[in-house]
Structure 1
Amino acid sequence: MAAGTIRYWAAAKSAAGVAEERYEAASLAEALDAARERHPGELVRVLERCSFLVDGDPVGTRGHETVRLAEGGTVEVLPPFAGG
């Protein structure tokens, strides 16, 4: 299990009510499940539309359970952005 930081942006930040928080999880799936438990409601819906960066690398279409998290790492939660 690794400890790190989840950073929420735009609509995800609004839904979570915080800009960032700590995680303790082995995979992205575990970290997101814990975030859903801490912030039930709107964040659950927002996360369905988000993309994610783990330590600066896009997760893309990989299964979240296969994305391992590193000690001291960062998960960026990026909702769809409007505009250009």
Structure 2
Amino acid sequence: MTGSTHETSASGTATVRYWAAARAAAGVGSDVVEVGSGTSLAELLDAVRRLHPDRPRLPDVVAICSILVGDRPVGAADPAEVWV
């Protein structure tokens, strides 16, 4: 299944890694996104979409792909309730 992973570091950034169709839609293998304390997955995904305004397929692919936060699958959890 298409997906991406998110890895948060102590420096206030999250590394978003794209796989399969998500990589093709983003046009890159990964992004580094600034995050603050209490950043939700929904906010992180909004930031990812803003990083690639020239990639029209990315929002649709991100909306349906499998996502891991660290090594945990997000599954059907509400992205607004998942902290990165």
**Under a length normalisation based on structure 2, what TM-score does the superposition of the two structures give?**
0.74
- Give the counterpart letter for 2:40 in structure 1: S
SS across alignment from 1:62: coil
SS across alignment from 2:64: coil
How many residues are treated as equivalent by the alignment? 68
1:10 aligns with 2:23: no
Tell me which residue corresponds to 1:50: 65
1:34 aligns with 2:47: yes
Cα separation, 2, equivalents of 1:4 and 1:35: 11
1:23 aligns with 2:18: no
Offset, 1:59 = 0.5
SS across alignment from 1:60: coil
Q: Deviations over 1:2-47 (max 9, x none)?
A: 4120000011101101101111231111110011112231101111
Equivalences for residues 45-84 of structure 1 within 5 A:
45-69=60-84
Tell me which residue corresponds to 1:80: none
Offset, 1:58 = 0.6
Cα separation, 2, equivalents of 1:43 and 1:57: 22
Give the number of the structure with larger relative contact order, counting CA–CA contacts within 8 Å between residues 6 or more apart. 1
Moved over 2 A (4+): none
